Amino acid sequence: MIEIRGLVKRYGARLAVAGIDLVVPRGRIFGLLGHNGAGKSTTIGCLLGHLFPDGGALRVGGVDALAERRRALARVGAIFETPAFYDYLSGYRNLRIFAECTAPVSDARLMEVAGIVGLADRIRDRVGKYSHGMRQRLALGQALLPDPELLIVDEPTDGLDPEGIHEIRSLLLRLNREHGLTLLLSSHLLSEVELLCTDIAVMREGRVLYSGPMADLPRTEGWIVLRADPPGRAADLLLGRGWLEERRGEDRFRLRAGVSVADAVGAAVADGLRVEAAHPIEMTLEEFYLQTVHGGGDA
């Protein structure tokens, strides 16, 4: 759905995006992670044509977004962290103004979308009277008009209460599941990304350090839990076999490359130990992110 090749963007002497490559497959929920200034918003800005890149190629839905911006963005919706509206106009009029920059939109479709985002009964009110949560839902509504295939979302749950966060998350998941919408999401909330995304990319200082499906995250790094009775015997056993690289406490071990949990359990059972628990230790997304960002290497 999105293909970015060698994207470069400079702000004066500062290199904001340093020749990144990124592919967002159709129908996926793709999370863009990184600290402030990592280059996420710049990448999104270049995609939407707000910023002019200094180099590289951008394709949306197979269309060159730099040469044919109008065609590339014809079925793209976007939401920002702090959505801006014409506060002196109604929600309805705001939706119409934004949607009509893409194509004419029928009243029925407009009201349908107002219903989807839960604003049907307040859509004729002035936006100036809306709460933050309502503005966020209106932002989602305008992004869904007229009928996007790709939604670019920058901090969609920022400033919302837990209920609001849950609502927006459920809505985004439903749109992806039921309508096949592709989502490109930029967020600082790693727990949200973990709950929403099928794929992620981690950025730092304008570079992509990791990009791939969540399912393929290299999370274990060889650490396992092996709790056996009698305590302490498992460590001796693993050490004796030359499988132990590192140890934390009685039951946490980092195994040599190529040795699996099954190997360790098999050896323990064969040695007459009673195995109470055995599983790989998985990093949370937060741990993975911090390790990737502070490790500094390309994953």
Partner 1 sequence: MLRRLYANELLKLVARKRSHIGFGAFVALEVAFLALLHLPRVRAAIEKLLTRNGLPVEQYFSGTTVAVMIVALTILFLGALFIALVAGDIVAKEAEDGTLRMLLCRPVARPELLAAKALACATYSCALILFIGASALAMGMAYRGWGSLFVFSPAEGVFAFHAPWPGLGRYALAMLTLALTTQTFTAVGFMFSCFNMKPAAATILTLSACFIDLLLRMTPYFESIREWFLTHHMAVWIHVFEPHVPWARIAEATVFLLAWDLTFVAVGIAHFMRRDIRG
Provide the binding-site residues for partner 1, judged by CB under 8 A. Answer: 41, 45, 48-52, 69-74, 76-78, 80-86, 88-89, 93, 96-98, 100-102, 104, 142, 152
- Would you say 47 or 237 has its CB closer to partner 1? 47
Q: Which residues pair with 77 in a beta bridge?
A: 151
- Would you say 86 or 212 has its CB closer to partner 1? 86
- Would you say 50 or 177 has its CB closer to partner 1? 50
The span from the CA of 18 to the CA of 15, in Å, is 6
- Would you say 79 or 267 has its CB closer to partner 1? 79
CB of 195 to partner 1, least distance (A): 25
Closest among 4, 29, 31, 32 to 18, alpha carbons compared: 4
Sign of CA dihedral 64, 65, 70, 71: positive
DSSP state of 38: S
- Would you say 100 or 298 has its CB closer to partner 1? 100
CB of 53 to partner 1, least distance (A): 10
Q: Give the three-class secondary structure for 29.
A: strand
CB of 212 to partner 1, least distance (A): 27
The span from the CA of 179 to the CA of 200, in Å, is 21
Q: Report the b/e string of 158-177 with b at 16+ CB within 10 A.
A: bebeeebbebbbebbeebbe
CB of 145 to partner 1, least distance (A): 10
CB of 25 to partner 1, least distance (A): 22
Cα Rg of the chain, angstroms: 24
Closest among 19, 31, 106 to 56, alpha carbons compared: 19
CB of 48 to partner 1, least distance (A): 5
CB of 100 to partner 1, least distance (A): 5
- Would you say 41 or 176 has its CB closer to partner 1? 41
- Would you say 103 or 269 has its CB closer to partner 1? 103
- Would you say 89 or 189 has its CB closer to partner 1? 89
CB of 60 to partner 1, least distance (A): 10
Sign of CA dihedral 10, 158, 124, 129: negative
Query: Is there a contact between 221 and 189 (Cβ–Cβ < 8 Å)?
Result: no
Q: Which residues pair with 34 in a beta bridge?
A: none
Query: Is there a contact between 58 and 47 (Cβ–Cβ < 8 Å)?
Result: yes
Closest among 34, 77, 289 to 186, alpha carbons compared: 34
